[in-house]
A and B are shown apart, each in its own frame.
Chain A
Amino acid sequence: MKQNLITEQKVFDEVKKAIVETLRADENEIKPESSLIKDLGAESLDFLDINYRLEQTFGIKMARHFILEHVEEAFGEGSAVDENGQLTEKGVALLQLRFGDERAGFTKGMDMDLLPTLITVQVLTRGVMDILESLPDTCPNCGNAAWKTEDGAKITCSSCGEYAPFANGDDLIKQWLAAVQEEKKIF
């Protein structure tokens, strides 16, 4: 369902907070379009810290694997990245669908090691929002539709007190991939 308990602004603020705490970055330098790696100096291990903080804050599970890993698992090695670790045309088409106009930087032959540099504060915020949108209509524990949040971050059932269950980030990516493949037949 379209959850309306947690605002995008709140998610953005929490993403910012997680970045500040992990990277000791200057809060004022963190813009939606900031690349975590290029602009804020993050490394791959730092993403784990940032993700973990967000998971704790919202009670969610962020994706463990980047979208292209899922593509290659689903459609075979070489489908999105060639043997030299470079983006294929199909890989480009998929990433453009995924990231839309936010990032037009995808080109055929681009080194896949560069892809993480395209992860921005906005991309992370969207990732969290996508997971929060997977909130079921009713509580699977008691069947009531009575979600609430007290801190604007964790959603619980006001009827039975259970924490809200969300789809995990990897499953959402897989679902999205399956839907895109069904419609566009990229691979």
Chain B
Amino acid sequence: MKQTLFNDKVALVTGSSRGLGKAIARKLARAGSDIAINYRKTGGSSQAQGEMLCEEIRGMGRRAILIQADISKKESVKKLFQEIVEEFGRLDFLILNAAKAPFKPIERLLERELRQLVETNYFGNIFCLQEALPLLEKTQGTVVFISSLGSRFYNPAYPLGSMKAAMESVIRDCAESMSDRNISVNAVCGGLVKTDSFKVLRQYWEEIQFIPDELFVDPDEIAEVVLFLCGPASRGIRGQTIIVDRGLSNRLYRSIKHHEA
């Protein structure tokens, strides 16, 4: 097998059977890492897609396992990490990508929805961090949290943004507290990506169709920054959130081209 940057490393990408998580899992596998793919819902298309990704990665000559786990449940997260230990015996990269949220203004969230929002997107990520810690200590590993522009800008019907903001703060906290064990903790904040989540966004934000194509980020562009944060070249970066949005949030200027169309 070709010697690559991440040979013999092991990565867990939560929520990686589709979308951005899948792109990240692929990218890490191509760089030589073995992959634990995680999905939540049994028997649906996520599981089917996860199985296909697993095969694809094995085809690259890497080890891959598919693990069902609902990160909002502590017990489920414990099992997830037990399986990783049994299969790989180590963990180098924890990529916190999984997310699940209702789409409506926060003022209209039912108590149940609010609890689920926090349980998956806040508790769930912290459960993963805590369970991964003993493994990451041994490998002086890396944590990368996947955030979104909703953490700092208004998006219609996007309560998930508030959780992304909280997690960016968690990342700052962990980066400091875990630095004595040489665990690197950072986040990548993606802009508009045409993955499955775009389908949801499109329902609540019709004008999104007027945003020019060049401002949509390719999942691979985000995955490559994740790869960078997992590699030695980023060793000086701690507790940061790197925005990968093709300059969308950098622009106050808006093209009016679409009005002419």
Which residues of A approach B to under 8 Å, CB–CB?
23, 37, 41-43, 45-46, 48-49, 51-52, 64-65, 69, 72-73, 77, 81, 83, 85
Contacts and interface: CB of A to CB of B under 8 A. Distances in A.
Contact of A64 (B45, B46, B112, B204): B204
Contact of A49 (B110, B112, B199): B199
Q: Classify the secondary structure of B's interface with A.
A: helix
Nearest to B41: A43
Given A41-B45, A42-B45, A45-B196, A77 B203 contact: no
Contacts of A48: 196, 199-200, 203
Interface residues of B, number: 18
B45 A77 contact: no
Contacts of B48: 41
Contacts of A41: 44-45, 48
A127 to B, nearest CB: 15
Interface of B: 18, 41, 44-46, 48, 103-104, 108, 110-112, 196, 199-200, 202-204
B199 A43 contact: no
List the 3 shortest-distance A-B pairs measured between CB atoms, nearest first.
Answer: A43-B44, A48-B199, A43-B45
B46 A43 contact: yes
Given A48-B200, A81-B112, 10 more contacts: A41-B44, A41-B45, A45-B196, A45-B200, A48-B199, A49-B199, A64-B103, A64-B204, A72-B110, A77-B112
A81 B200 CA distance: 24
A48 B18 CA distance: 15
A46 B200 CA distance: 10
Given A52-B202, A52-B203, A37 B103 contact: no
A77 B97 CA distance: 30
A69 B116 CA distance: 15
B111 A77 contact: yes
A71 to B, nearest CB: 11
Nearest to B116: A85
A23 B48 CA distance: 12
A77 B196 contact: no
A110 to B, nearest CB: 16
Contacts of A37: 44
Contacts of B199: 45, 48-49, 52
